[in-house]
A and B are shown apart, each in its own frame.
Chain A
Amino acid sequence: MMFLEHTYTTEDLLKRCRAGERKAQELLYKKFASKMMGVCMRYATDRMEAEDMLQNGFIRVFQKLDDFRGDGSFEGWVRRIMVHSSIEYYRKHHKMMQVVEIEESNEPSVNPLAVAKLDAKDLMVLIQQLAPGYRIVFNLYAIEGYSHKEIGGIVGISEGASKSQLSRARGILKEQIAKMERKNYENAG
């Protein structure tokens, strides 16, 4: 039965979801939950926050399902909703512009590894340790691929502010990676 569930196309599920079929909603959720959890994780400080964002995002997906006209992929549409849901989360919690500088003593808890050996989870921890403002701009620019103009519109900041926040985010990340490399070298030595 589990195999049968995965044979439904997104179009089928969408049609059934629009008719209000509860089972189809669950299947659609399951189809995209892990991918979207991955998106939310990049915008969150931790797993709990990411799940809150994911939950709000999926509620909005189901509420706005009729708005999806089929232009472009459904996954892309859901992803955009998740990104907006994540930004909205910070807006609601007034965390948006709180810029907390990572101090030298506040070292990342990752094992010291060489850059080549940095895996996705390590990078995720690095990104999550950024202040929300930096994290959002870095995610939108480097991973989602938005321009500074678009980011300014989404986040509600100026294009210049987007550029400077990205610059600061990159600086912090480089710093953290270098620290990890150094520790790795020391351990090796």
Chain B
Amino acid sequence: MQDNELDHLFHSNLEGFEMEPSAKVWQNVDAELQTGKRRRIVLVPFLSVAASIIVLVTAGILLIPHKTPVAHSQPIKDRIAENNPPAKKAAVVAAIVKPQVTQTAIAANPVNQSNRIRSVKKNIAVRQQPVANTTISQPSPVTPPVQLVIADVPQKHDDNVQNVKIDTAVIAQTIPSVQTIKPATIASNIPAAAPATKPAGKKHRIHSFGDMMNVVIAAVDKRKDKFIEFSDTDDDESTITGVNLGIVALKKQN
């Protein structure tokens, strides 16, 4: 038998050979296809879970403060004593002292204002001298700031005490609105300044990269907890204090 005869014998008989496979073949193929499909479906939530974990871990690393975290309930002075190095301590002390300074400044303010008003009104008083005489007898509603003015006056203006007194009375009478407003403003200024630990007007200043980021993010993200928040302290390095991803929101207590 020739080679090609042999090849032809097998080719003609077996090329179109058919045989029914057992039913388990399809069952196995089908099972494999279904598990493959299931694997793809399961993969989607798995990937989102994995992504969430990565985000959380990253956020966790970024949120770990560079300094030892400070307990919120602890008094400020204790915090200074325990946690801050001497250099920082001075800064924080200054921050605490500052309100007192502003307070005294506010307290001193009426004096200056009164002085200013007085110096202005002095001229008026001089011109209205006859009228002023009658006003002296009147019980003037003298308020503490005005008393300060009177106390202050003899030191600076010892040339004419009477004139000054007239002046004050004139001020009291002619500009009652100034007097009534002044104590009110002082009263409102002092209590407002006293309990505040941070100096007023600080929030709006951009000191660091974090502050700048906060401003930019606030412009885009109108939510209470922003997408990402940075510390607004005066530290050189800005730390992330809050992350809000919609589903997951983290915020560091300040």
Which residues of A are in contact with B by a Cβ distance under 8 Å? 20, 22, 25-26, 29-30, 33-35, 37-39, 41-42, 50-51, 54-55, 58-59, 62-63, 115, 118-120, 123-124, 127, 138, 141-143, 170, 173-174, 177
Beyond A51-B25, A170-B6, whether A123 also contacts B33 by CB under 8 A is no
**CA A39 to CA B14, docked complex, whole Å:** 8
Beyond A29-B26, A174-B1, whether A59 also contacts B9 by CB under 8 A is no
Query: Taking chain B's interface residues, is the majority helix, strand, or loop, or is none over half, making it mixed?
Result: helix
**CA A42 to CA B23, docked complex, whole Å:** 20
Min CB distance B39 to A, Å, is: 12
* Interface size counted on chain B using CB atoms at 8 A: 28
**CA A35 to CA B20, docked complex, whole Å:** 8
Residues A63 and B17 in contact, CB atoms below 8 Å apart: no
Residues B29 and A141 in contact, CB atoms below 8 Å apart: no
Residues B1 and A127 in contact, CB atoms below 8 Å apart: no
Min CB distance A30 to B, Å, is: 8
Closest 10 pairs between A and B when the two form their complex, measured CB to CB: A38-B17, A142-B7, A34-B18, A37-B21, A120-B13, A37-B19, A38-B18, A58-B29, A123-B13, A59-B32
Residues of B within 8 A of A173 (CB): 6, 10
Min CB distance B88 to A, Å, is: 64
Residues of B within 8 A of A58 (CB): 25, 29
Residues A174 and B21 in contact, CB atoms below 8 Å apart: no
Residues A38 and B30 in contact, CB atoms below 8 Å apart: no
**CA A142 to CA B32, docked complex, whole Å:** 33
Residues A59 and B21 in contact, CB atoms below 8 Å apart: no
Which residues of B are in contact with A by a Cβ distance under 8 Å? 1, 3, 6-7, 9-11, 13-22, 24-26, 28-30, 32-34, 36-37
Residues A170 and B14 in contact, CB atoms below 8 Å apart: no
Residues A115 and B14 in contact, CB atoms below 8 Å apart: no
The answer, among A29, A62, A115, A124, for a CB contact under 8 Å with B17, is A124
Beyond A58-B25, A119-B13, A123-B14, whether A33 also contacts B33 by CB under 8 A is no
Residues A20 and B19 in contact, CB atoms below 8 Å apart: no
Residues A120 and B29 in contact, CB atoms below 8 Å apart: no
Residues of A within 8 A of B22 (CB): 51
**CA A33 to CA B15, docked complex, whole Å:** 15
**CA A142 to CA B7, docked complex, whole Å:** 5
Residues of A within 8 A of B20 (CB): 33-34, 37
- 7 of the cross-chain contacts (CB-CB < 8 Å) are A38-B16, A55-B25, A58-B25, A63-B36, A115-B9, A119-B13, A170-B7
**CA A109 to CA B97, docked complex, whole Å:** 109
Residues of B within 8 A of A30 (CB): 26
Residues of A within 8 A of B33 (CB): 22, 25, 59, 62
Residues A34 and B10 in contact, CB atoms below 8 Å apart: no
Residues of A within 8 A of B25 (CB): 33, 51, 54-55, 58
The answer, among B9, B28, B32, for a CB contact under 8 Å with A118, is B9
Residues of B within 8 A of A25 (CB): 30, 33
Which residue of B is nearest A181, CB measured?
A: B1
Residues A123 and B28 in contact, CB atoms below 8 Å apart: no
Which residue of B is nearest A38, CB measured?
A: B17
The answer, among A37, A51, A63, A141, for a CB contact under 8 Å with B7, is A141
Beyond A120-B13, A124-B17, A174-B1, whether A26 also contacts B6 by CB under 8 A is no
**CA A119 to CA B12, docked complex, whole Å:** 10
Residues of A within 8 A of B14 (CB): 38, 42, 120, 123-124, 127, 143
Residues B13 and A26 in contact, CB atoms below 8 Å apart: no
The answer, among A37, A118, A177, for a CB contact under 8 Å with B18, is A37
Residues of B within 8 A of A54 (CB): 21, 25
Residues of A within 8 A of B21 (CB): 33-34, 37, 50-51, 54
Min CB distance B170 to A, Å, is: 96
Beyond A34-B21, A38-B18, whether A127 also contacts B29 by CB under 8 A is no
**CA A55 to CA B28, docked complex, whole Å:** 7
